[in-house]
């Protein structure tokens, strides 16, 4: 499987970004998927996850609740992370992740929140 993130960049505090992750080489709809992030000097942490169809339950880290929304489009084999009300502490490399029988990681996309 191959996961390719896009949509990162520079945002101002209070701004928004939408990350995308295009997935190939696996049956995307059968995988649980998630977004993780890692800031310099810290461990990689879960941001949000969404289960495989049909339930597609979602789960968010406390810092993401109310600000971030994870979603998936199985027809496009793509997952998304809509990030609103961004804060400087959201600055990190964001990774997409897929797991079912095996796990796959994207290479990451940098998100920088700064004025």
Query: What does the pLDDT read at residue 39?
Result: 97
* Residue at token pair 């998304």: 80
Q: How many residues does the chain have?
A: 115
β-strands 109-113, 9-11 pairing: parallel
What residues contact 75, with CB distance under 8 A and at least 6 apart?
Answer: none
User: What gap in Å lies between CA 45 and CA 38, rounded to an integer?
Assistant: 6
Give residue 54's pLDDT: 77
Q: List the pLDDT tens digit at each of the 115 positions of the chain.
A: 899 999 999 999 999 999 999 999 999 999 999 999 999 999 999 999 999 877 889 999 999 999 999 999 999 999 999 999 999 999 999 999 999 989 999 999 999 999 9
Peptide bond into 54 cis (omega under 30): yes
Residue 88 main-chain phi, psi, to 5 deg = -55, -35
């Amino acid at each position: 499987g191959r996961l390719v993130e896009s949509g990162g960049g520079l945002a101002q505090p209070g701004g928004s970004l939408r990350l995308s992750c295009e997935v190939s080489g696996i049956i995307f709809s059968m995988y649980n998927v998630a977004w993780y992030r890692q800031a310099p000097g810290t461990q990689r942490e879960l941001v949000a996850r969404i289960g495989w169809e049909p339930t597609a339950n979602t789960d968010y880290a406390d810092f993401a609740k109310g600000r971030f929304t994870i979603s998936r489009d199985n027809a496009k084999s793509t997952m998304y992370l809509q990030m609103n009300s961004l804060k400087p502490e959201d600055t990190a490399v964001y990774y997409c992740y897929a797991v079912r029988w095996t796990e796959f990681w994207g290479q990451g996309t940098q998100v920088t929140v700064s004025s």
